[in-house]
Structures are given as structure tokens and as C-alpha cells.
């Protein structure tokens, strides 16, 4: 299967599928949106001030962020996924440890209709601590899946199976 890909920077390292795993790393290419909330103390009053900056740039080599900042990164690629397929974007296992960033929607879904020339893949993070990130750092990964098959729900009173339990019911060993 071949997938058409457009890169948004000639310097962006080209994507590659490595033998260790099924996911492909994505890198920070640009800052699409940046929101910082700060609290201003004036006498006995505390005022909340939120500022959102929308742009499509990268400033310098390193971008510094503060705890609580919300950052939407452009991931430097657009793709034409085949009909019947979608992609899931999730953080790399080291993203929180290295950067203190948590993906705001936990998993991002790219369906095959998101395939225009300017449909750059993006990811949004919230900073849990102050930190810094460099352009082209690897922060997330994706894989391509077949779409969920079509089905109908059939409402019943009983499923006819034994209850298994929920969170933590299978034990720890």
C-alpha cells in the first residue's frame, strides 16, 4: 500500500517505519496555537488573564513553555490515507518524562477525509511543568488502522454471559 505524504518543511526529517514496533514517530514542526493563563494579584484581588496566540511559525531553536500552557503543534505532514483507513496519534512513551506534556485528548484520530494540501496533522498538549522543546523533537507517534466495520446494535434484556468485573478485578499477578 502506498500513502501520499506532503511535508511542510524541506528540513523535516522524512518519516520511516522502523523494525521495532508498529508506530511511526511524528515530530514538532511548528506552533499553531499557544495559550497561557496567568494570575495577577492586585491588592487583595486575584485576576485571571488568558492569552491565546495563533500562528504557524517556529521561533529560534527552542520553544520554552510554562506549567499550565496549552500548546498546539503542527506535526509537519499531511497525508492522503486510503479509503477505509484512519490514523491514530498518541504521545510517545517518553513524552511526559522528557517534556512534562500530556496530550489533551489522549488520542487523536485522523480520518481519510482530512487530506487537503493544508491539512497538516496536529497535536495539542498541556504542560504539567515548565519545560522546553526543540523543532523536530519526536513527541508523538501514529499508526494506520482499518476503519471499524459497519454493524447494528441489537437491544436485549440479558447478554447471557458471566460477569467479569471491572477495574482491577483480574488481580495484580
Domain ranges of the chain: 4-9+21-146
Cβ neighbours, 10 Å, residue 82: 14
- Greater confidence (162 vs 79) lies with 79
Number of separate helices (H) and strands (E) present in the chain? 1, 13
Lowest-pLDDT range of 21-35, 112-126, 128-142: 21-35
For the segment 12-70, what is each residue's pLDDT rounded down to a tens digit? 999 998 888 889 999 999 999 889 888 888 888 888 888 888 876 776 788 999 999 99
111, 117, 119, 130: the catalytic one is 111
| pLDDT at residue 170 in the model | 65
Domain 4-9+21-146: which topology?
A: Deoxyuridine 5'-Triphosphate Nucleotidohydrolase; Chain A (2.70.40)
Contacts for 66-69: CB closer than 8 Å, 24+ residues apart: 66/36, 66/127, 66/130, 67/100, 67/127, 67/128, 67/129, 67/130, 68/36, 68/37, 68/126, 68/127, 69/34, 69/35, 69/36, 69/126, 69/127
Active site residue 111: yes
Asked if the model's pLDDT at residue 125 lies above 70, the reply is: yes
Instruction: Give residues with Cβ within 8 angstroms of 139, minimum separation 6.
Output: 26, 27, 28, 73, 91, 92, 95, 99, 101, 123, 125, 133
For the segment 7-20, what is each residue's pLDDT rounded down to a tens digit? 999 999 999 988 88
Percent pLDDT > 90 in the chain is 69
Phi, psi (rounded to 5 degrees) for 171: 90, -175
Hunting for cell 494579584 — which residue is that?
41
User: What is this structure's pTM?
Assistant: 0.82
| Residues 68/36, Cβ–Cβ less than 8 Å | yes
Q: Where is mean pLDDT largest: 133-137, 161-165, 167-171?
A: 133-137
Amino acid at each position: 500500500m502506498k500513502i501520499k505524504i506532503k511535508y511542510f518543511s524541506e528540513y523535516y526529517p522524512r518519516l520511516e517505519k522502523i523494525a521495532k514496533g508498529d508506530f511511526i514517530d511524528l515530530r514538532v514542526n511548528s506552533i499553531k496555537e499557544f495559550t497561557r493563563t496567568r494570575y495577577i494579584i492586585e491588592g487583595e484581588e486575584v485576576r485571571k488573564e488568558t492569552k491565546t496566540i495563533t500562528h504557524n511559525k517556529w521561533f529560534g531553536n527552542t520553544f520554552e513553555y510554562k506549567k499550565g500552557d496549552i500548546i498546539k503543534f503542527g506535526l509537519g505532514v499531511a497525508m492522503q490515507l486510503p479509503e477505509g483507513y484512519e490514523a491514530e496519534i498518541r504521545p510517545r512513551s517518553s513524552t511526559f518524562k522528557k517534556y512534562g506534556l500530556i496530550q489533551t485528548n489522549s488520542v487523536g484520530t485522523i480520518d481519510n477525509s482530512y487530506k487537503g494540501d493544508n491539512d497538516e496533522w496536529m497535536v495539542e498538549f498541556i504542560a504539567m511543568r515548565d519545560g522546553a522543546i526543540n523543532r523536530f523533537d519526536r513527541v508523538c507517534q501514529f499508526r494506520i488502522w482499518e476503519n471499524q466495520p459497519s454493524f447494528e446494535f441489537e437491544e436485549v434484556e440479558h447478554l447471557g454471559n458471566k460477569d467479569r468485573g471491572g477495574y482491577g478485578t483480574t488481580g495484580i499477578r
